[in-house]
Amino acid sequence: MSKTKLRPLSGSTIQLVDGDRGVNYPNKKDFSDNGFCLFLDSSNLTKNGFDFSSKVFISKNKDEAMGNGKLKRGDLVMNTRGTIGNMGVYKENVPYENIRINSGMLIIRGGADYDNGFLYGFFRSNLFYKQVENIMSGSVQSQLPIWIFNFIQVPELNIPAQKKISAVLSALDSKIELNNKINTKLEQMAKTLYDYWFVQFDFPDQNGKPYKTSGGKMVWSKELKRDIPEGWEVKKINSKIKIGSGYPFKTEDYNDNGKYKIITIKSVQEGYLDTNKADKIDFIPDNFPDFCKLDKGDVLMSLTGNVGRMCFVNQENLLLNQRVGKLLANRNFIQYGYLYFQRPENQKRLEKIANGSSQSNLSPVDAVKDYFAVPKDEILNAFSTTINLVFNKLLKIQEENQKLAELRDWLLPMLMNGQVAVK
């Protein structure tokens, strides 16, 4: 039970700033890869803060023509459409001086009686989400209307108490953020190594020198329309890698206290697995395919929406749902495939063959029909030995982050409702 008094958010100094939806709202022709003002979309927000791996900008003139929706340092940004509740904090370390939200976002700005760090914790806690569910009559919503905040109540704590709670949560978030930065560098290292070995073909030759640069013999491949190392074969991808699609679970079998988490399309984020809001089930269906029982180290691919997102499995007791694919191959080709499908040219290929007017859907069969250059076994084995070190480190950090997030999410409601106090 809550030991903290609540007060109406509408009676506090907390400001809610909606995005500009007027005639000056930007369209596709206004966006560029660089420019004066970063224009956020839903992909820039995760449950652990901002993600700027993809971004678009608008010009200074366009920015100045718009009204509401411009960020100030310290502001919170929340998704109100799509993955509702994903949030970021516009801290001093965010490297963009001008940022605007899109029409599916909301700015939350603390006032004299509320600390932004404390609010960041509150709006990610069940204390907030339970109120939302009650107000919306428990229905699943794809949009969070701004009027709902008129009925939200926030904990009534003095600023020193808020800052103590914020410091605890911030310490955990900072460690998660640091780990994410390390993993980003590990991912980049793996991609660079793959490019060096299998795109530039400068894998170590028998003398330890870069193969192509040192004059290694190349031969023309009519299928790939490029030179490849002598002795390499050209085959269909499906000769080495297949993609298995998940199982269609019945929603009536879901159980909040179930042993197994169900991995759906929302769980597969770019580079990491998010099981925070996964549904659960307490049994494995009789006709359940073995490959849909996930193990640590498995590689998953999104087959719907933003097709081609990939991540490693880093937990146990996970079951694969439909519209999520799993790479099926021997261990060496699993790691190779993870990096192969993330190549920009392959991401574009997957997007091109995906179909559907309102939402892209990728066929796991079509995804592996193309030709590719098959490395010699000794080359692939040597690459796997090297890349294993990188991926093992990456997985360990992901597991640590999962435990840190679980600790944070366990502490969050107790800190918010006063069951746990910070001294």
Of the candidates 411, 280, 221, which has an alpha carbon nearest to the alpha carbon of residue 422? 411
Of the candidates 230, 225, 215, which has an alpha carbon nearest to the alpha carbon of residue 372? 225
pLDDT number for residue 2: 54
Distance CA 204, CA 380 (A): 11
In percent, how much of the chain has pLDDT > 70?
Answer: 97
Token digits of residue 6: 């609540």
Number of residues that make up the chain: 423
Please provide the average confidence, as pLDDT, over all residues in the chain.
91
Q: What is the mean pLDDT of residues 279-295?
A: 95
Domains of the chain: 6-156 (3.90.220.20), 233-374 (3.90.220.20)
Residue 370 contacts by C-beta under 8 Å, 6 or more apart in sequence? 236, 237, 349
Inter-residue contact 222 to 373 (CB < 8 Å): no
Distance CA 331, CA 319 (A): 20
Distance CA 224, CA 262 (A): 39
Record the pTM.
0.82
Q: Write the DSSP symbol of residue 136.
A: T
SS3 329: coil
Token digits of residue 338: 């993870």
Distance CA 404, CA 241 (A): 34
Say yes or no to pLDDT of 311 above 80: yes
Inter-residue contact 218 to 212 (CB < 8 Å): yes
Q: Tell me: the pLDDT tens digits for 386-397?
A: 999 999 999 999
Q: Provide DSSP, 370-422.
A: SEEEEPPHHHHHHHHHHHHHHHHHHHHHHHHHHHHHHHHHHHHHHHHHTSS--
Q: What is the mean pLDDT of residues 310-326?
A: 95
Of the candidates 135, 128, 118, which has an alpha carbon nearest to the alpha carbon of residue 85? 128
Confidence label for 1 from pLDDT (cuts 50, 70 and 90): very low
Q: Tell me: the pLDDT tens digits for 400-409?
A: 998 998 898 8
Inter-residue contact 326 to 298 (CB < 8 Å): yes
